Amino acid sequence: MDLEKQPQQPVAPAGPAPAGPEPVGIRASDADRDRIADILREAMAEGRLTADEHAERVDLVYRAKTVGELEPLVRDLPAAGPAPGRQAASPYTYGPEAPSGPAENLVAVFSSSTRRGRWRVGGRTNAFALFGSVEIDLTEALFGQRLTVINATSIFGSVEVKVPENISLHGSGTGIFGNFEVDTLESADPEAPVVVVNGYSVFGNVEAKPKRGKLIANLHQQLRKHLGR
């Protein structure tokens, strides 16, 4: 006697595997570095880190190449988050977030290129000077995001970056028969914009420094007054 065949029950598809920790050897993104920098700024504001410790760790953040290099910098700190009784801070910006898009390119070949005044700086700017000069003045710029990266290349030329005194400024680069100089700044405001200048110079000059007397907070007040807010 044949056994009655039972209909097979459908097998449920396997769900996605739970997300695990990010591999430590993966290349770090700008968002990864910004997240770690947020934790460090929060720790300094709470008194967990001194100003010197904070400056040293932030410098390592923007030199890190992999996620594994970032993790030890915050291993002894709590995860970033709003302190009890305090609302989470909003982005430090003067207006709506700028739409995402390609990097802005400033090129000077046997010429000069200047970006100054009240303009909305994007997340990335590429500056290239060949027997020319590029000037980037951020003292009146509108920051639509916390982290701004400037990639500067100077060959027999110069790239000069000016920033307000009360933001954070970091950089990493090389001078080959030339000069690469970034005056490191660490803002007391944990929500202040961060400008990172990277690149190199060959028989040229790359320089980033604060412009004395220029404070971004003053510009914020002027804009609010102009808009009647």
Residue carrying structure tokens 């510009």? 219
Q: What is the pLDDT of residues 22-57, one digit of tens each?
A: 566 788 887 888 788 878 877 877 778 887 787 788
The token pair at 227 is: 């808009």
| Residue 223 CB burial class (10 angstroms; 0-12, 13-18, ≥19) | middle
Least confident of 11-20, 52-61, 133-142: 11-20
Amino acid (1-letter code) at residue 36: I
Average pLDDT estimate for 129-150:
90
Q: Give alpha helix (H) positions in 46-204.
A: 51-61, 67-70
Query: What stretch of H or E contains 130?
Result: strand 124-130
Q: What is the pLDDT of residues 140-186, one digit of tens each?
A: 888 878 889 999 999 999 999 999 888 899 988 899 999 999 998 88
| Residue 95 clears pLDDT 80, i.e. is over it | no
Residues 6+ apart with CB under 8 A from 219: 94, 139, 140, 164
CB atoms within 10 A of CB 205: 19
Average pLDDT estimate for 50-69:
82
Residue carrying structure tokens 């989470």? 88
| Residue 138 CB burial class (10 angstroms; 0-12, 13-18, ≥19) | buried
Q: Measured in whole angstroms, how far is the alpha carbon of residue 92 from the centre of its chain?
A: 13
As a whole number, the mean pLDDT across the chain is: 77
Residues 6+ apart with CB under 8 A from 125: 103, 104, 105, 106, 115, 136, 148, 149, 150, 151
Average pLDDT estimate for 66-88:
69
Residues 6+ apart with CB under 8 A from 224: none
Amino acid (1-letter code) at residue 131: F
Position 115 scores a pLDDT of: 92
Q: CA–CA separation, 226 vs 159, rounded Å?
A: 32
Higher-pLDDT residue of 53, 2: 53
